Structure 1
Amino acid sequence: MLEALGLGPMEEAIYTALMAQPTASAHDLARQTGIASAEIICVLADMETRGLVAAATQPDREESGPAGQPTRSAFIRYRLTPPSVALAPFLVERRNALHQAESAFSMLIEQYRSTAVHSAGGVVEVVVGVEEVAHRFHQLQHGARRELLIFLVGAPVAVPREDTDISESFALDRGVDFRVVAAKDYLDGPDVARDVRAALTAGMELRLVDSLPLKMVVSDRERAMVPLDMADTGGEPSAIVVHRSGLLTALVHLFEKEWAQARPLHTATGVRAEPTVDQQPTEGELEVLALLLAGFSDRRVASQLGLSIRTVERRTRRLMDLAKADSRLQLGWHAARAGWL
């Protein structure tokens, strides 16, 4: 824990040991930490110089050092300097170092954009190869601080879906606003429905459309990545990374347009009995409704949700009863009007 403030492993061990007692000598600390007394004496001297510890009492005995000279270092008792006093300068130093690192990071990005070989005026980078594409994809997702906008189409090529799931979890855990528009065929992959449910439960927003023009990830509206046709790069996966520009603005506008027209996908958040008199659909019924409105057949809805066809039909019938609809077209109209989706 204290290594984050610049303390070494032995310093942290000694500091932690001193936290549990008012004072201790090098001999005491050696017994508690398993570190040799000679090493602890040296570390304590350095910690005293840095203001982390202070001598509490003088020794009541002496021991012989080199050439018979008396030394009392091993028997001096030390106490901790209060952490609020001792560690505050370390925290300030680390903050300053982080600020300098962020400044250097920004400068390097601008320098790279202006000198990259595969660039077009610093606006577009071409990334070729499985490892490079996967690396840039994870950079975009892990680097997002506010928002991620995603288009999902078909099966993954350069980034395995399990790696994508890990990046999604990392972003959601940090509170990043995560919005996804998926083409219907994306849900055809094995175990996709299960992973989608987990992501929705964690806070991701997902909407479905019949088709999308491309795959895409947009990070904080500052960078985007779009795959290229593998035929253009000898069969290797490739992509372009787009930086802030009119092109990036157009990609964000495309996402927002598809998002506004897409159908929300809901997921059940827990076991809930289906009421017979309530005038609002259950979460499970909304799951069925979202897929039906996305154009899925009853059989495909059942497969995606792990239900029987009879259950899908029963939930659909109750939805139609609630909406007083004679057809699924009327059901869709009522669902939009009632704000069910």
Structure 2
Amino acid sequence: MLQSLGLGPAEEAVYTALLARPTASAQDLVRQTGLDEAETTRILLDLTTRGLAAVATEARSGVSGPSDCDAGSRPARYRLTPPSVALAPILVEQRNALHRAETAFSMLTEQYRSTAAHPAGSVVEVVVGVEQVAHRFHQLQRGAQRELLVFLVGAPTAVPRDDADLSESSALDRGVDFRVVAAKDYLDGPDVARDVKAGIAAGVEMRLADSVPLKMVVSDRERAMVPLDMTDSGGEPSAIVVHRSGLLTALVHLFEREWAEARPLYATTTGVRAQPTTDQQPTEGELEVLALLLAGVSDRRAASQLGLSIRTVERRTRRLMDLAGADSRLQLGWHAARAGWL
């Protein structure tokens, strides 16, 4: 937590241990942090020099400095400087540094656009090689502040799925809206359903289409990345990065069209399911079974009343649940009411 304010792991351990005590000696903190006494003493002196801690008043008498102890005196004891006093200047400086970096980013971006050697150079750039493609992919995802639009199709080539999941998690933590349209066969990959379920639970809005036209990621509607056929780059993964232009606008429109036509995916206890399409409706025989099930009639009794075998009733129930995208009969009843099946 405190590493973002400039403290290393060992410094954070000492600072956090001291936070829980009014005062403490280096020996006290050794027992709590697991660091050796020399390292703990050095860190305490450094925290004191930086104004994050101070020597406790009762420990000052009989010692010439925070690191010295006369033979008969007690070890120096330390206390924290109130965080609101000590850490506030660090936070202000980091905010100022971020503001300077954002200003420099804006200036460099404008300069790049205005001095491109060829008009097309400011619209489309070609990236070749596994490392370069992965680097630009992470730039797009980690640089997003408002929205990410993604087409998923086929197996990953340049960016392993675990690495993509880390970038996805970082974007969600920042409050970025994350929408994904996945091709139906994308879910066939190993462990994909598990990862998709975790993504949906974390806040990704995901929809399923029979197919999508291309693999793509769009960041804040300002940049997009589209992989190229590896045969065009000597077998190496390659991609184009599209900047703000009519081409980027067309890619965003393409995403919105596919999004509108795709079926929402939702997590279930066993994996993920797509909401059924509106043209899939139960047959009259299936509705007869549904009416009896919702009335609390058992499968055996429903079979007897309808003159069917139990196997037929179970098969019709299974199809109704598939149409509804339901994992339980309770979910089936909820969907049937919402869809107006009865």
RMSD: 4.5
Q: Select which of 279, 289, 295 maps to 2:276.
A: 289
* Paired position in structure 2 for 1:61: 62
Matches within 5 A, 1:187-202: 187-202=187-202
Matches within 5 A, 1:100-139: 100-111=100-111, 120-139=120-139
Residues 1:315 and 2:318 aligned together: yes
Q: How does the TM-score come out when normalised to structure 1? A: 0.66
Aligned-residue offset at 1:139: 2.1
Aligned-residue offset at 1:101: 2.7
Secondary structure of residue in 1 paired with 2:266 = coil
In structure 2, relative to structure 1, the CA distance for the partners of 1:72 and 1:240 (3 Å cut) is farther
* Paired position in structure 2 for 1:211: 211
Secondary structure of residue in 2 paired with 1:121 = helix
Aligned-residue offset at 1:123: 1.8
Residues 1:47 and 2:34 aligned together: no
In structure 2, relative to structure 1, the CA distance for the partners of 1:73 and 1:125 (3 Å cut) is farther
Contact 1:62/1:72 (8 A) holds in 2? no
Structure 1, residues 65-114: CA drift from partner, whole Å, max 9, x if none? xxxxx999997665433221222212212221222233334444445556
**Aligned partner letter, 2:93:** E
* Gaps in structure 1 of 5+ consecutive residues: 65-69, 272-282, 294-309, 322-333
Secondary structure of residue in 2 paired with 1:156 = coil
Distance in structure 2 (CA, Å) of the matches to 1:11 and 1:18: 11
Aligned-residue offset at 1:149: 0.8
Distance in structure 2 (CA, Å) of the matches to 1:43 and 1:198: 42
Aligned-residue offset at 1:181: 1.6
Distance in structure 2 (CA, Å) of the matches to 1:42 and 1:267: 48
Contact 2:44/2:53 (8 A) holds in 1? no
* Paired position in structure 2 for 1:81: 81
Say which is worse superposed, 94-103 or 25-34, in terms of deviation.
25-34
In structure 2, relative to structure 1, the CA distance for the partners of 1:289 and 1:244 (3 Å cut) is same
Distance in structure 1 (CA, Å) of the matches to 2:37 and 2:117: 53
Distance in structure 1 (CA, Å) of the matches to 2:265 and 2:27: 65
**Aligned partner letter, 2:100:** Q
Secondary structure of residue in 2 paired with 1:206 = strand
Distance in structure 2 (CA, Å) of the matches to 1:82 and 1:217: 45
**Aligned partner letter, 2:276:** L
Contact 2:263/2:275 (8 A) holds in 1? no
Structure 1, residues 287-339: CA drift from partner, whole Å, max 9, x if none? 4735996xxxxxxxxxxxxxxxx977533246879xxxxxxxxxxxx99x949
Aligned residue pairs, count: 293
Distance in structure 2 (CA, Å) of the matches to 1:84 and 1:121: 49
Distance in structure 2 (CA, Å) of the matches to 1:131 and 1:214: 21
Secondary structure of residue in 1 paired with 2:276 = helix
* Gaps in structure 2 of 5+ consecutive residues: 281-312, 325-334
Matched-pair identity in %:
67
Secondary structure of residue in 1 paired with 2:122 = coil
Matches within 5 A, 1:1-341: 1-7=1-7, 15-16=15-16, 18-23=18-23, 34-36=36-38, 40=41, 44=45, 47=48, 50=51, 52-53=53-54, 56-57=57-58, 59-61=60-62, 79-111=79-111, 120-268=120-268, 270=269, 287=274, 289=276, 314-317=317-320, 338=339
Say which is worse superposed, 161-170 or 143-152, in terms of deviation.
161-170
**Aligned partner letter, 1:208:** L
Q: How does the TM-score come out when normalised to structure 2? A: 0.66
